[in-house]
Chains A and B, each alone.
Chain A
Amino acid sequence: MGEAAERFVVEGLVEQTSAGPRLIGSRCRGCGTFYFPQKASCPNPACTDKAPVAALLPDQGTLYSYTLQRYQPPPLFRMDGWEPYLLGLVDLGEGLQVMGMLTGVKEQEVRIGMTLRLVTEPLYCDDDGTAVLTYKFTPAGTAL
């Protein structure tokens, strides 16, 4: 039996390392600024080099704010067994805040400032059975 086929919702967002998933962003060699997702150039007006290179971002951060998405987004978004879900804004340090779905935490347990770590989870199964993954954040210390 072969491994179940998997892919990400978009290529180039996440790298699976031996120590777990990491978001792929950019770091500008000129000014040191981090970006997510990868950028073609650097919008910092003080930067003269404008030389972003791919960089793995920190896999932990703190929750800056969140909401509960109560109604189903338009069809470009796919999710098997749709139900309302938490969306968070996570401060990864390095001046970078990233939005993503939260998992493994109930609305009444969410606290601004809580430590979260990056995970990947299937959102839906394609027609050919491929599991389509996205990145999410979950409370640090939770096994998933």
Chain B
Amino acid sequence: MRPVYALGAGAHPWGKWPEKPQLQLALEAMSAALADAGIVWAEVQGLVAASSRFEGGMGWGLHANEVVQAVAEQGIPCINVGGACAAGAIALQTAHALVASGQYDVVAALGAERMPKGFIPRPPGSADDRSDNDFLRWVAMGATNPAYWAIEARRRQHEHGTSERTLAQASALMRRNAGGNRLARYRDPISEEDVLASPMVADPLHLLQICPVSDGAAAVILGSEDYVRRSGKAAVRVAGCAVGSGQFGDPARRIPTISSTVRDGVAHTSEVTGAVRAAFELAGIGPEDVDLLEMADNSAWHILAWPELFGFYEPGQGDWMLEQGKLAIGGELAINPSGGFLSFGEATTAQALLQVSEVLWQLRGEAHGHQVPEAKVGMTAVLGLGANGGSVILTR
């Protein structure tokens, strides 16, 4: 593999954008990424898009094709990848492979999403019988997504004594980080009291401890060493990049299943921890080298648990790290300086590419208003339906 660099990134601010079709969000993110990389469409040699289930793609997830047909009919490969909420990471992995192989010099990865209102409907063609977990979890027990995270959080309270206040502090930190990020949807500061006063959704998780859904789009352009030299920008390298799927025996409460077959010694959320481990190996570094981690905080529980699962510190230590301010911007390990999913709301297929964009800007020192001082190494981690995990490490 030859070295691959992040030439530029762009994003459409997260929010609700009823007047802008998904394609429009995608085009705006791509334009911003091209401008950031200092290149034009004619130089792009390939486009990988995260396929959305909700809008666009001509019914076949052909989101990359729609983009080039709108703005750049130049014969380039259009690759469309699925991976639900991890699709953006799979798009980046694919773009990385295309450049690393030497076949192409400049390839873009793109994710754009407008989320439907209310509950996400089941996909057409699903069977109404016991073979479909997403049917079973509703009809047999009405298990909502927050209930799965709440069951994890309650178990953590039992094992590590995590307090309601610490769980509230996680949300407050995310909002404080988002305060300086113009791309985040929710930027007003919230106190721990505000979090605890918000309605209880699934004990012990309150409304402000669960990520909502949003519309948003992000794109990252990868390229060869020649291109990054020519751009005149700081050379930020994709030092590690990996995707993975789940391991047999994983004890995680995996949405939408209603049971887990658990085996001793198997990592929790193995699809993500496996990708993280593989990314570390490729980069030849470990957790102690990382300055910031952009991770999928679908709930406040994730902020406490995930870095432990990745080996940043011992199980149970996350509470103390958070309470001591070590996870804040300027702390030992800045977690989600962007503000995370809790402050953005999840725009599923776009989310992992926003994470990579954020890390790129941080390493360049361009994360105005929420900059991690002296950031040299940044990492992302994301989880998607179907036990998809992805992780990316950028280094400067």
Binding site for B on A (CB under 8 A): 9-13, 25, 33-38, 40, 43-46, 64-74, 76-79, 85, 87, 89, 95-101, 107, 112, 134-135
Contact = CB atoms under 8 A, between A and B. Distances in A.
A99 B155 contact: no
B122 A76 contact: yes
Contacts of B321: none
Interface of B: 118-119, 122, 129-131, 135-144, 147, 150-152, 154-155, 158, 199-205, 248-249, 251, 253, 258-263
B203 A97 contact: no
Contacts, number: 125
Contacts of B202: 67-70, 87
A42 to B, nearest CB: 9
Contacts of A68: 200, 202-203
Nearest to A37: B130
Contact of A73 (B135, B144, B150, B203): B144
Contact of A74 (B119, B150, B199, B200): B119
Contact of B154 (A65, A74, A97, A98): A65
Contacts of B248: 43-46
Nearest to B153: A67
Contacts of A78: 139
A95 B136 CA distance: 21
Nearest to B156: A65
Contacts of B130: 10-13, 37-38
B167 to A, nearest CB: 13
B128 to A, nearest CB: 8
A66 B129 contact: no
A38 B375 CA distance: 49
A25 B144 CA distance: 23
Contacts of B201: 70-71
A68 B203 CA distance: 5
Contact of B147 (A67, A79, A97, A134): A67
B261 A65 contact: no
A14 to B, nearest CB: 10
Nearest to B131: A40
Nearest to B120: A74
- 4 closest cross-chain pairs (CB), A and B: A77-B142, A73-B142, A67-B150, A76-B138
A67 B141 contact: no
